[in-house]
């Protein structure tokens, strides 16, 4: 592989290693925190981007200042890519927090007890609300007290996530 190609590919290789280590850590240390897993995976990616970039700079025989500039550029590029991945992972975690804060602001300005929150966000209530939202949007149709698929676009999205989950976790 040419040194220039290694230099260009280093941030993407680092992102791939970040994702790999994040998945590995989630599987091997399920009791760990999301932040710790993400930070460790990010550090592994930094190591990869620096190692690959250093090797590429040495192969290109670039002068010292150019080499440092290219390495800084690669580290910054990787950091941007890793930030995008962090946000993708964090979307699911944040969505419940946002819903809870919005609920408190919109419907409970005087506050709400822990028991009321547990009741509102019980599994049964969440399923009930989600089914109603899917029915209103036309993704589900209710006929004779039975739900049927309406529009198939959500099914297509679900299949895409099935494939992604298989790629990450392996067999179901």
Delimit the domains of the chain by residue range.
Answer: 3-110, 122-172
Query: pLDDT by residue (tens digit) across 16-72?
Result: 999 999 989 988 887 778 888 899 999 999 999 999 999 888 888 778 888 899 899
* Calpha distance 35→125 (Å, rounded): 29
Which token pair is 160? 């895409």
CA–CA gap between residue 152 and residue 33 (Å, rounded): 36
Kindly state the DSSP code that residue 22 receives in the 8-state scheme.
H
pTM: 0.59
Indicate the pLDDT class of residue 168, thresholds 50, 70 and 90. Answer: low
Nearest in space to 10 (alpha carbons), one of 52, 70, 59: 52
């Amino acid at each position: 592989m040419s040194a220039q190609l290694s230099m260009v590919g280093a941030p993407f290789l680092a992102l791939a290693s970040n994702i790999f280590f994040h998945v590995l850590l989630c599987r091997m240390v399920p009791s760990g925190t999301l932040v710790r897993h993400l930070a460790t995976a990010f550090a592994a990616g930094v190591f990869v981007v620096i190692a690959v970039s250093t090797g590429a700079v040495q192969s290109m025989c670039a002068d010292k200042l150019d080499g440092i500039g290219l390495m800084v550029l690669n580290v910054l590029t990787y950091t941007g890519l890793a930030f995008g991945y962090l946000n993708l992972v964090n979307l699911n975690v944040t969505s419940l927090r946002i819903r809870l804060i919005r609920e408190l602001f919109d419907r409970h300005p005087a506050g709400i007890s822990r028991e009321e929150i547990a009741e509102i966000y019980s599994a049964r209530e969440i399923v009930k609300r989600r089914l109603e939202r899917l029915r209103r949007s036309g993704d589900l149709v209710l006929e004779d007290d039975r739900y049927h698929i309406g529009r198939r676009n959500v099914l297509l999205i679900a299949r895409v996530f099935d494939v992604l989950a298989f790629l990450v976790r392996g067999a179901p």
